[in-house]
Each structure stands twice: as structure tokens, then as C-alpha cells.
Amino acid sequence: MDWRVRGLCLREDPDLFFPIGNVNSGPVAVQTDEAKAVCRRCPVMAHCLEWAVDAGPVEGIWGGTTEGERRALRRRATRVLTATESAA
């Protein structure tokens, strides 16, 4: 079974996961926090996050992270991989 059909987000308004504006302030921050709260309860959060990180830049909240947070995860993974390869 595809992990996406088990996501709790399917029971929510899709707009919740696509806040428009600055994520760090006002109503957008509240909306982002609400979306992340759904993700934290979701049984497929890890699969969702893995997909979003692998897919590259995708808008919205996926796997409990914002696009900026996933970008940071990808940069961190690249640095670790580079350090590991340099040590070998």
C-alpha cells in the first residue's frame, strides 16, 4: 500500500499545508504550527519527510517540515556525505 493513502493530511483541508506568506510571523506561523501538529500525529510522517527531502524543492508542509527546513536537511546531509568521503 502506498504510504500517501494513510496520511492524516487527507482528512484535513489541503490549504492548511500550503501557508502563503512569511512562515515566521502572524497567521502563517499559526497555520504552519497547526499543519505540523497534524504531521506529528501522522503514522507516515517519516515516509512523507523522506519523499519531500528526496524530491527536492516542494512547497508546503511535508513530513512536519517547511521547505526551508528541508533545504537545511539536504545541506546538512551533503556536508556529512562530503566529510565522510574526504575521510575515506
Please tell me the predicted confidence (pLDDT) of residue 1.
Answer: 64
Task: Give the whole-angstrom CA distance, residue 67 versus residue 2.
Answer: 23
pLDDT-based confidence at 83, cuts 50/70/90? confident
48 marked as binding residue: yes
39 marked as binding residue: yes
Render pLDDT for 49-76 as a digit per residue (tens, 0 to 9): 999 999 988 999 999 999 999 999 999 9
Q: What is the CA radius of gyration of the chain?
A: 15
**The residue count for the chain:** 88
Q: How far is residue 20 from each of residues 1, 3, 11, 52, measured CA to CA in Å?
A: 32, 26, 20, 18
**pLDDT > 80? residue 46:** yes
